[in-house]
Structure 1
């Protein structure tokens, strides 16, 4: 009875396109919304004649569902956003190791799990956004510099509770260690113009309203806003170009430990890393290709080239707990 109740709670808010699963179809559990994955699955099916069944929902709930289902799961693949979430799923024993020449050729090593548990399939950068009417671009430089006194009362940030914030801080711990990162966080908190926002879109709206002048956002949120408001006095600035490079993250996927069709799932994973799929990813959500041989979408390319931080993204998961604890200690809410 308890197990049934838990399962019913985990399935609340889950949407599904799973029908009767055939032996040669691939079943995907995905925290990415349907409109961002269905065009990819349709194109894959057209190319290979392999049908993709899928179920979408919150990433955390799907991870718990996979744990609960165990060997009885229908899922062959789990897709989600942020390397921290992918790392966590791997740490829970939900993925099997997959290493193929296709994946290694298509995807750089820093966007893949070192043990082959998951692969990044699209890239988003988390960088500085600023009001062009109130900020001199020569004053911008790094994530670390946003802690300097010149930004007092001028900074807006997303809440520390969100995975994208946790991953950025984890990357700072990787590069600088706990003590220096703690000083950076303290500086950010001192410079806040307002309580941290729930969403990146809220950060940008706060900048546009004059509540603050600079912030940190994922690039695709900026792309969505500028598509709606092309004349908004808002631009991206590529952080840390003289040092570590811009912090990047991924949406990605892994093959589940108990996949019933691992061969088909691996074929799908490889296809998602191909040039054709990477172009679809970029067009759907203003993201950068994980395949470095593929050019970014035209609108995304217009934001300019930048150096990426090439820290292996497994580190954002490994250091996530330390990042959370440090933010709590320094009062970043």
Structure 2
């Protein structure tokens, strides 16, 4: 379908080399209730600082934030052990939340919070909940691509050599490969990666892939949905060279990953924050400011296909926690 516009030790080992966090602390001094929560945020400051200020304005709860990479912050939380300094972990992806959930670090969330989102976007164990979604798509040049691939494995065929773009160092691509491992096995993932080594042009970022399609450098790229729709909104759909498409139903290439939160302390304000993120104010913010999917049913902007119409693979997103094994396969294929 297309639209015109057993445990976390391996993860800790994989991340220990980068655990010198480039994280920065930020404080919101606007508390009026005397309550404050500390958040370790894998979501960047430029994306959520305004949202956190609104939270404090509406609730009176102050916020102190440490920003960094989600996987690195998850490893930091484990390093802190019984002396965890954060009340909330706000992760860019489900994998880091799943890793902490597997370690028993996260507190059980109230059912009234969990039930605000569909089961596929929350922890089966009830210890984390997604708050916004983003989908994987194909951005392609309709003037050059007459027949779209039905499966991610189609892209390993010789006829795609030099025509496609991927970003192996990008966390979203790595989550996609992890989904392949979870759904189809390591052998399938290795076969796909070997095919990408032969066929793909490599980029650092999703935005670079999309621009390469727009410039005619490549014919198809694997990106997150919002890059295309934000550019289309900025430039106008009629001025877009590329279009967007999805793989066949249930394909790992249609992965919908989530940003989400888990609670690390018994501070009641932490649970209040988790629930607030699933209220109308925060959900509108994700839809309007980050072009992500609302997980409580708000309509998307920019002509984005509704999340309920995407035939994404269904599995426990906590299983995206096995990042270290994915990185090993990507390195073995010579893509990192």
Report TM bin, short chain: 0.7 to 0.9
For residue 59 of structure 1, what is the aligned residue in structure 2? 70
**Residues matched between the structures, number:** 316
For residue 3 of structure 1, what is the aligned residue in structure 2? none
Does residue 328 of the first structure (1) align with residue 331 of the second (2)? yes
Contact persistence 1:10–1:65 (CA under 8 A): no
For residue 109 of structure 1, what is the aligned residue in structure 2? 119
Structure 1 residue 265, shift from structure 2 partner: 0.7
For residue 317 of structure 2, what is the aligned residue in structure 1? 313
Structure 1 residue 157, shift from structure 2 partner: 0.7
Query: Which of 43, 63, 82 is residue 32 of structure 1 equivalent to?
Result: 43
TM-score by length of 2: 0.82
Change (3 A) 1:132 1:42: same
**CA deviation string 1:205-239 (max 9, x = no partner):** 22223221111001122233333333130121112
Change (3 A) 1:275 1:301: farther
Change (3 A) 1:222 1:303: farther
Q: Work out the CA distance in 2 between the residues paired with 1:11 and 1:183.
A: 33
Structure 1 residue 87, shift from structure 2 partner: 2.3
Q: Work out the CA distance in 1 between the residues paired with 2:309 and 2:229.
A: 15
Query: Which of 188, 199, 202 is residue 191 of structure 1 equivalent to?
Result: 199
For residue 288 of structure 1, what is the aligned residue in structure 2? 293
**CA deviation string 1:223-275 (max 9, x = no partner):** 3333333313012111223756711111111111xx262x1111110121223
Which runs of structure 2 are paired with 1:27-176 in the superposition (5 Å)? Answer: 27-91=38-102, 94-98=105-109, 100-136=110-146, 138-159=147-168, 161-176=169-184
More displaced 10-residue stretch of structure 1: 100-109 or 241-250: 241-250
Contact persistence 1:27–1:54 (CA under 8 A): yes
SS across alignment from 2:240 = coil
**CA deviation string 1:19-67 (max 9, x = no partner):** 5987522221212122322333333334433333323233344345434
Contact persistence 1:278–1:289 (CA under 8 A): yes
More displaced 10-residue stretch of structure 1: 241-250 or 176-185: 241-250
For residue 204 of structure 1, what is the aligned residue in structure 2? 210
Change (3 A) 1:38 1:328: closer
What RMSD, in angstroms, separates the aligned Cα atoms of the two structures? Answer: 2.9
SS across alignment from 1:139 = coil
Query: Which of 267, 270, 281 is residue 265 of structure 1 equivalent to?
Result: 270
Structure 1 residue 156, shift from structure 2 partner: 0.9
Structure 1 residue 169, shift from structure 2 partner: 1.2
Change (3 A) 1:23 1:69: farther
TM-score by length of 1: 0.83
Structure 1 residue 163, shift from structure 2 partner: 2.2
Unaligned residue ranges in structure 2 (runs of 5+): 1-15
Contact persistence 1:236–1:303 (CA under 8 A): no
